[in-house]
């Protein structure tokens, strides 16, 4: 998929990143897809932070419009929609890893097992996420 010309507030690459991913809900949806294997609206609603349904619907639509995720109708149940990270979305794994490690270093956070796993072998951790994604599943490493 090629680059799309968009009307950003500025041409700064960081600005483009912030305009796409700049709110917590978008990043948490991507986290849940990568680490918990979330694929359905219901999966996201059951996340740790309890996103509101209207916010979730908006963020899923936005992430799809920017090509970070794609949605497909469930082949077994046509009433159900499944969401999957695109290549563009899975390429955010190193970014999210660094954000987790940064927060764990500077704030009192939970999930020390995940942090330890990331610290021990960042590249291996990210490769595992990518491998699971290529198999069509999310990596279930978080409780």
Q: Which residue has the higher pLDDT, 43 or 134?
A: 43
Q: Is 73 helix (H, G, I), strand (E, B) or coil?
A: strand
What's the pLDDT at 71?
95
User: 99 lies in which domain range?
Assistant: 13-134
Domain for residue 101, yes or no? yes
Three-class secondary structure of residue 8 per DSSP: coil
Task: List pLDDT tens digits, range 101-118.
Answer: 999 999 999 999 999 999
Flag whether pLDDT at 95 surpasses 80: yes
Identify whether 4 is part of a domain.
no
Considering the domain boundaries, does residue 41 fall inside one? yes
pLDDT per position as a tens digit, 8-64:
778 788 888 888 887 899 999 999 999 999 999 999 999 889 999 999 999 999 999
pTM of the model: 0.86
User: Cα torsion at 120, 124, 127, 133 (round to 10°)?
Assistant: -60
Number of domains in the chain: 1
Beta strand extents in 49-120 (DSSP E only): 69-73, 81-85
For range 117-140, the mean pLDDT: 84
Instruction: Flag whether pLDDT at 140 surpasses 50.
Output: no
Q: What is the pLDDT of residue 138?
A: 53
pLDDT at 136: 77
Listed residue (120, 73, 111, 118) closest to 96, CA to CA = 118
Q: Is residue 44 part of a domain?
A: yes
Q: Which helix (H) or strand (E) holds 59?
A: helix 53-65
Whether residue 6 is contained in a domain is answered as no
CATH code (residue 35): 1.10.10.10
In a domain, 2, yes or no: no
Q: Is residue 90 part of a domain?
A: yes
Q: Give the burial string for 88-123 (b: 16+ CB within 10 Å, else e).
A: ebbebbeebbeebeeebeeeeeeeeebbeebeeeee
């Amino acid at each position: 998929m090629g680059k799309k010309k968009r009307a950003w507030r500025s041409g700064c690459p960081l600005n483009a990143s912030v305009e796409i991913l700049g709110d917590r809900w978008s990043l948490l949806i991507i986290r849940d897809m990568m680490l918990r294997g979330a694929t359905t609206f219901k999966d996201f609603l059951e996340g740790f932070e309890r996103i509101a349904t209207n916010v979730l619907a908006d963020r899923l639509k936005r992430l799809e419009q920017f090509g970070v995720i794609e949605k497909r109708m469930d082949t077994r149940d046509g009433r159900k929609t499944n969401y999957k990270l695109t290549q563009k979305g899975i390429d955010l794994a190193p970014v999210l890893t660094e954000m987790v490690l940064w927060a764990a270093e500077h704030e009192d956070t939970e999930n020390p097992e995940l942090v330890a796993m990331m610290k021990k072998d960042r590249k291996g951790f990210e490769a595992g996420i990518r491998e699971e994604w290529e198999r069509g599943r999310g990596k279930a490493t978080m409780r």
